[in-house]
Every structure is written in C-alpha cells, then in structure tokens.
A = this chain, B = another copy of it.
C-alpha cells in the first residue's frame, strides 16, 4: 500500500524524456516492450504510461503507440458518450470526481476505517479495479478527498487585522474538520502531498503575519494548524468511539467511574480527585473548547509578536 513498482518505470521514462533522449513526436516504448525490458506485467507497464499521461508528458495515439508530447485538442466524434462522460481535453476528471465524492460520503458516514476500494466500487455500481483508472490508488484517493473536502470551505474575504485574519482561517479549518470528521487523521496520514486547496489558507496566514519575522510567521502557522488538527482529532476519536460502542463520553465516565476512582486513589492524584469530587459537570462542547484554545493562542501571539 506504500510501495511503488510501476513508478520506477514512469520515472525512468520521464528522465529519458527530460534528457531529450525521447523527443516530442517520438514513440515511447510500448506496453509490450516495457513488459519485455523491465520484466513486469502488462498492467504494470500500462500503469506506468498512465502516470506519464496524467502528467501530460505523453499521450496515446491509437494504432501508433504512446508518443511524447501533450495530447492534441480532442476531436469530439460527437455523441457516443458511453454513459460516463469524458472531458473535452481527454482527461477523466468527471469520473474521478464521482469516485472522490463517494469516498467522502462513505468516510463522512462511517469513518475512514470503513473506506475501502471495494466498498466505493460497490456503491458506485462498478467493478473494483475500474476505480484504479481514475484514482491511482487508495493513498492518492485520500489525498484527493482531503483536497476536495477542504475545497468545500473557501476562505472568503480575509479581515485586515492580523488577529482576526488568523482566527478566520482557523475557524474555516475547524468548520471543515467538523463536517468531515475523518479529515484530521487523513491529513496527517497522507504523506506531505501537495494539497492545492490548502495553499490559500497558508497564504492567508502568512499574509496576515507579513509584518513579523519570517521564521516566527512560519512557526505560528504550523503551530496554529497543529493545534486545530489536534482538537479535531479529539473530536474524531470521540465520534468514532461513540459510533463503535454506542456509548457517549458522559456515559463512559459513569461506567468506568469505579475503575477511574480506584486509580485516582491508588496514585493519589489529588487534583484529579478534586475535579470529580464535587459534582462538577463539564459539558463536553468541542466548539467552546476549540474557541478557548484559539483565544489562548491568539492572546499569546499578541504578547510574543508585540
């Protein structure tokens, strides 16, 4: 799930193209040639070429082979759309969007753990492997999901005051996490892939802090996002636990109360004991919690950045 067999072939071909060894118009080795030369299977070679195609470095020319260079403007043979449409430029974004949307829908409803390629395929009424024509793999799919999920929450006009601006970005982030509970862990799981829709957010924060030292601005941004995601993860864990066990946090405390009390007594955890002693009822409102932490962070920034 984290390996890369066909990517090596793609990389090699890409190198050859960039070095000018393969010039535009020339034919890149056919899938069968790749099969022979690299000792791999047909589909692996196909996938390698597919990668380069998505990068628009090459394009297939039926009956000829795969040639170097971007695809020509599509000739629309008119009509004959095979149920699922293909965009004018030959890319397959429309179907990809469908797959990604379905992924998001499943993850929203049942969490990232319930997200499987088979599940998506079944839900869309297509075969499992058909998905791989649109998304490249599960990891890539998740990155796409993250990107479009964040894209649902555009920034809007950013306030002039740096403090308000930062708060606005943080709240947008929070809103996204709140709607898509899986988002927080998905962002951390997917390697530091480029998430284009995230760039305006980082830009807004950096812009708001333009007056300050650069390293401080960068540190601030990372800290801020780390904090927001941290709280979001708390929220996700709570939601998942409740879904899995059917027990809310309050009920859990009630049920585990004895064990907890015993441990508190055993470890003479006085402060903890005090907290539970008087019937103090902490309402587990994560929105308030988030705003509290955000306020603290911003106050701290005011001090630090003068």
What is A's interface to B at a CB cutoff of 8 Å? Answer: 2, 113, 185, 188-189, 191-192, 194, 196, 199-200, 202-204, 206-207, 210, 214-220, 222-223, 225-231, 233-234, 236-238, 240-241, 244-245, 249, 252, 256, 259-260, 263-264, 267, 269-272, 274-275, 280, 282, 288-289, 292-293, 295-304
CA distance A227 to B227 in the complex (A): 4
Q: Is the CB of A267 within 8 A of B299?
A: no
Q: Is the CB of B216 within 8 A of A226?
A: no
- Among A202, A236, A296, which residue has the most Cβ atoms of chain B within 10 A? A296
As for how many copies of this chain the complex holds, the number is 2
Q: Is the CB of B269 within 8 A of A199?
A: yes
Shortest C-beta distance, A154 to chain B (Å), equals 12
A192-B249, A303-B303 known; A271 vs B214 contact (CB < 8 Å): no
A223-B231, A228-B230, A295-B300 known; 18 new pairs, CB 8 Å cut-off, are A2-B113, A2-B244, A191-B240, A191-B241, A192-B252, A194-B260, A196-B263, A206-B272, A216-B292, A219-B288, A220-B292, A222-B289, A223-B227, A226-B230, A227-B230, A230-B233, A297-B297, A298-B300
A275-B218, A299-B303 known; A269 vs B223 contact (CB < 8 Å): no
CA distance A237 to B228 in the complex (A): 16
A194-B260, A298-B300 known; A292 vs B223 contact (CB < 8 Å): yes
By beta carbon, the residue of chain B nearest A207 is: B271
By beta carbon, the residue of chain B nearest A298 is: B300
CA distance A217 to B289 in the complex (A): 11
A191-B244, A227-B223 known; A263 vs B233 contact (CB < 8 Å): no
Q: Please name all residues of chain B whose beta carbon is closer than 8 Å to the beta carbon of A289 when the two chains form the complex.
A: 219, 222-223
Q: Please name all residues of chain B whose beta carbon is closer than 8 Å to the beta carbon of A229 when the two chains form the complex.
A: 230, 233
By beta carbon, the residue of chain B nearest A249 is: B192
27 A-B contacts (beta carbon < 8 Å): A185-B185, A185-B189, A188-B236, A191-B240, A192-B241, A192-B252, A194-B256, A194-B263, A196-B263, A200-B269, A203-B269, A203-B270, A203-B271, A207-B270, A218-B275, A220-B296, A222-B231, A222-B293, A223-B231, A223-B289, A227-B230, A230-B230, A230-B233, A295-B304, A296-B297, A296-B300, A299-B299
